[in-house]
C-alpha cells in the first residue's frame, strides 16, 4: 500500500513529493483536471488530503473501477468511483497516467482511503 498527500492551490491539485535534489519544477507535480472532482469529493472541498492507495482491497476503501482506457494524448483511463459499500459515487473519473506512476500500469481496480495524517513523500 502506498500513501500520497495532495494540496490544492488556486484551484489546482498537486501531489506532495519531496524535491530535495531540486530536479523538478512545481509544475511537474500538477495533477490534471480529471483528478480534481475526485480529490474535491474525497477531501470534502478542503485544501489537503492524504490517501492510502493500492490495487488490493483494504478496509473501508473506495474502489475506482476501470470502465475504459483513454485514447487521449494524456493516456490513462476512465474509472467509476464506488464507496466501500459498493454504491456509485461518481460515474466517470478520468485519471491521466497517474496510475502508471504509482503502479506501473493502468489497473482494473484502484482502492483508496482518506487517511487522518498529512505527509510529504520522497521521490524514489
**How high is the pLDDT of residue 76?**
84
CA distance 118 to 31: 18
**How high is the pLDDT of residue 123?**
47
**How high is the pLDDT of residue 35?**
81
Report which DSSP code applies to 26.
Answer: G
pLDDT in tens, 2-50: 888 888 988 888 888 765 445 455 555 556 667 888 889 999 989 999 9
pLDDT in tens, 57-89: 999 999 999 999 988 777 788 999 999 888 998
- Alpha-carbon torsion 83, 86, 91, 97, what sign? positive
pLDDT in tens, 83-118: 988 899 888 888 887 788 778 899 999 999 999 865
Our CA angle for 49, 62, 120, nearest 5°, is 25
**How high is the pLDDT of residue 30?**
59
Could you tell me the residue range of the domain that residue 57 belongs to? 2-122
Domain count for the chain? 1
**How high is the pLDDT of residue 124?**
46
> Which residue is listed with cell 459498493?
86
**How high is the pLDDT of residue 21?**
45
Instruction: Count the alpha carbons within 13 Å of 55 in the hemisphere toward its beta carbon.
Output: 10
Backbone angles phi, psi at 76, to 5 degrees: 80, -150
Amino acid at each position: 500500500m502506498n500513501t500520497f498527500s495532495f494540496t490544492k492551490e488556486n484551484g489546482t491539485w498537486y501531489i506532495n513529493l519531496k524535491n530535495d535534489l531540486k530536479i523538478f519544477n512545481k509544475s511537474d507535480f500538477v495533477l490534471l483536471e480529471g483528478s480534481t472532482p475526485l480529490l474535491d469529493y474525497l477531501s470534502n472541498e478542503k485544501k489537503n488530503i492524504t490517501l492510502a492507495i493500492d490495487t488490493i482491497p483494504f478496509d473501508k476503501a473506495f474502489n475506482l473501477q476501470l470502465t475504459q482506457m483513454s485514447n487521449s494524448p494524456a493516456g490513462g483511463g476512465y474509472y467509476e468511483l464506488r464507496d466501500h459499500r459498493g454504491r456509485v459515487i461518481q460515474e466517470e473519473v478520468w485519471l491521466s497516467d497517474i496510475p502508471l506512476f504509482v503502479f506501473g500500469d493502468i489497473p482494473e481496480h484502484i482502492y483508496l482511503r482518506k487517511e487522518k495524517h498529512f505527509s510529504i513523500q520522497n521521490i524514489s
